[in-house]
Amino acid sequence: MPAQTHLFLCLKDNYGVLLHDPGSGATAAIDAPDAAPVEAALKSTGWRLTDILVTHHHADHTAGIPALKERHRCRVVAPQAEAKRIPLVDETVREGDTVRVGGLTARVLETPGHTAGHVTYVFDADKLAFAGDTLFSIGCGRVIEGNAEMMWQSLLKLRALPDDTRVYCGHEYTQANIRFARTVEPNNKALAARSAQVDTLIAAGRPTVPSTIGDEKAANPFLRADLPEVATAVGLADSPAWKVFAEIRERKNRA
């Protein structure tokens, strides 16, 4: 049976998401920004929490773990490189590992750059990717612990997923990301179309997440740094893609 998902806002602009396997009844929270909204989501779905899959150590992705673990005795899975900075970890994962949530299987991709040990969980059979703060809709995470070249390589791994993969990210930043993206690619028609769609969703109080890898490839400038027109647009024609990426990231930091 296909996986079911339930997305909800936490804290100011964080997303929490539950992933449910209807066959076994298993349910994973992807990250745990805050226990209360996760509890509310469990109550509204009637699902029972069995696992927490952590993408990275930042408090706005992990602060809810102790209370959830105490109440549900769920398993906490976290990136090996960051396990010491994440509470109550039961199992650590690294590149190429698989993680089961009931009958669902995730493949672990190491996607460092935002943090040094950040991972993405890819459920290939369900075409779902949980990218934390690596890839945002029409944006990407700040490069905090890694460097631009590392982050670019992480984004390339995500870009290589099938176009119809649905990507869940850690924050609702899409509208601001689009405003910035249009300064880089003012003539990108896919970006203009996405902008109109996102304005409609936000006006209706609806999430802009998930998007798909195909949508992101068409309109997210951070995934397009190896296109000649994007390099030219930021004055770096013939530069390596990671340098173009670094320039776009710097401009976004200053925006």
Given the rule CB under 5 A, which residues bind Zn ion? 58, 133
Q: Which of 20, 57, 58, 118 is catalytic?
A: 58
* Closer residue to Zn ion, CB minimum distance, 52 or 233: 52
Of 90, 129, 82, 135, the residue nearest 108 (C-alpha): 129
Give min distance, CB of 40 to Zn ion, in A. 22
For this structure, is 20 an active site residue?
Answer: no
* Closer residue to Zn ion, CB minimum distance, 63 or 219: 63
For this structure, is 31 an active site residue?
Answer: no
Q: Which of 20, 72, 114, 118 is catalytic?
A: 114
Give min distance, CB of 105 to Zn ion, in A. 25
Give min distance, CB of 6 to Zn ion, in A. 22
Q: Can you give the length of the chain in residues?
A: 255
With tokens 């703060």, the residue in question is 133
Give min distance, CB of 199 to Zn ion, in A. 26
Enter the tokens of residue 83. 């396990």
Collect all residues with Cβ–Cβ distance below 8 Å to 97 and sequence separation of at least 6. Answer: 107, 108
For this structure, is 61 an active site residue?
Answer: yes
Q: What Rg, from alpha-carbon coordinates, does the chain have? A: 18
Collect all residues with Cβ–Cβ distance below 8 Å to 227 and sequence separation of at least 6. Answer: none
Enter the tokens of residue 85. 């900075």
Give min distance, CB of 249 to Zn ion, in A. 15
* Closer residue to Zn ion, CB minimum distance, 108 or 140: 140
For this structure, is 56 an active site residue?
Answer: yes
d(CA 197, CA 21): 30
Q: Which of 21, 31, 60, 126 is catalytic?
A: 60
d(CA 150, CA 27): 32
* Closer residue to Zn ion, CB minimum distance, 58 or 252: 58
* Closer residue to Zn ion, CB minimum distance, 13 or 229: 13
Q: Which of 20, 21, 57, 61 is catalytic?
A: 61
Collect all residues with Cβ–Cβ distance below 8 Å to 156 and sequence separation of at least 6. Answer: none
For this structure, is 114 an active site residue?
Answer: yes
Q: Which amino acid is at 181?
A: A
Q: Which of 56, 57, 72, 118 is catalytic?
A: 56
Catalytic residue positions? 56, 58, 60-61, 114, 133, 171
